[in-house]
Structure 1
Amino acid sequence: MTTYALGDIQGCQPQLRELFGIIEDETPGAKLLFAGDLVNRGPASLETLRMVRDLGERAVAVLGNHDLHLLAVASEIRKMKSGDSVQPILDAPDREELIDWLRHRPMAYTANGILLVHAGVLPQWDLTVTMELAHEVEHVLRGSDWKDFLAEMYGNLPDKWDDSLTGTARLRCIVNGLTRLRFCTADGQMEFASKMGTNEAPQGYMPWFDVPGRKTREDTVVFGHWSTLGLLLRDNLVSLDTGCVWGGKLTAVRLDDRALFQVDCPGFLEPGDSPAKPTR
Structure 2
Amino acid sequence: MALYIVGDIQGCHKELKALLEKAKFDKNKDQLWSAGDIVARGSDSLATIEFLQSLGDSFNSVLGNHDLHLMSIYYGIKKAKKSDKLDNLLASKNINSIIEWLAQFPLMLPLPDGKSYLSHAGISPQWTLTQAIENAQFVEKRLRAKDREKWLTRMYGNTPNSWHQVATKTERFRFTVNAFTRMRFCYQDGSLEFDCKSSPEDAPKDVKPWFTLLTEEQKNITWYFGHWAALMGETGLKNIIALDTGCVWGNHLTMIKVKSGKLLTQNSYL
TM-score of the superposition, structure 2-length normalised? 0.94
The answer to which of 157-166 and 28-37 deviates more is 157-166
SS at structure 1 position matched to 2:73: helix
* 1:263 aligned onto 2:266: yes
Could you say what secondary structure the match of 1:156 adopts? coil
The reply on whether 1:195 has 2:201 as its aligned counterpart is no
Q: Provide the rounded CA distance (Å) in 2 between the counterparts of 1:242 and 1:96.
A: 30
Is residue 30 from structure 1 mapped to residue 30 from structure 2 by the alignment?
Answer: yes
What is the deviation of 1:262? 0.5
Distance 2:27 2:71 in 1: 33
1:240 and 2:243 matched: yes
Q: CA deviation at 1:193?
A: 0.5
The runs of at least 4 consecutive aligned structure 1 residues that moved more than 4 Å come to: 25-28
Find the counterpart in structure 1 of residue 54 from structure 2: 54
Partner AA of 2:250 in structure 1: G
Give the C-alpha shift of residue 212 in structure 1: 4.9
Q: 1:89 matched to which residue of 2? A: 89
What's the offset of the Cα at 1:169? Answer: 0.8
Instruction: Please tell me whether residue 40 in structure 1 is matched to residue 40 in structure 2.
Output: yes
Question: Which residues of structure 2 form unaligned runs of 5+?
Answer: none
Moved more, 241-250 or 51-60: 51-60
Q: Take 1:258 and 1:147, find their aligned partners in 2: how far apart are those partners? A: 39
Contact 1:186–1:212 under 8 Å retained in 2: no
CA contact (8 A) 1:46 1:88 kept: yes
Corresponding residue for residue 74 of structure 2? 74
Deviations 1:215-247 (A, max 9, x none): 421111000000011113642111000000000
CA distance in structure 1 between the partners assigned to 2:219 and 2:37 by the alignment: 24
**Alpha-carbon offset, residue 27 of structure 1:** 9.4
Deviations 1:127-171 (A, max 9, x none): 332121111000000001100111111000000112853211110
Cα distance in 1 for residues equivalent to 2:83 and 2:238: 36
- Does the CA contact (< 8 Å) of 2:7 and 2:35 recur in 1? yes
Residue 157 (1) aligns with residue 136 (2): no
The percent of aligned pairs where both chains have the same amino acid is: 38
CA deviations on 1:170-198 (whole Å, 9 max, x unpaired) are 10000000000000023211111001101
Count of aligned residue pairs for this structure pair: 267
For residue 120 of structure 2, what is the aligned residue in structure 1? 118
Give the partner amino acid of 2:2: T
Q: Distance in 1 between matches of 2:92 and 2:47?
A: 10
1:123 touches 1:214 (CA, 8 Å); kept in 2? no
State the SS of the aligned residue for 2:123: coil
Q: RMSD over aligned Cα, in angstroms?
A: 1.7
More moved, 232-241 vs 248-257: 232-241
TM-score (normalised: structure 1): 0.91
Aligned to 1:179: 181
Aligned equivalents of 2:120, 2:216: Cα separation in 1: 17
In the TM superposition, residue 201 of structure 1 has moved relative to its aligned partner by 2.3
3-state SS of 1:83 partner:
helix
**2:27–2:58 CA contact under 8 A, matched in 1:** no
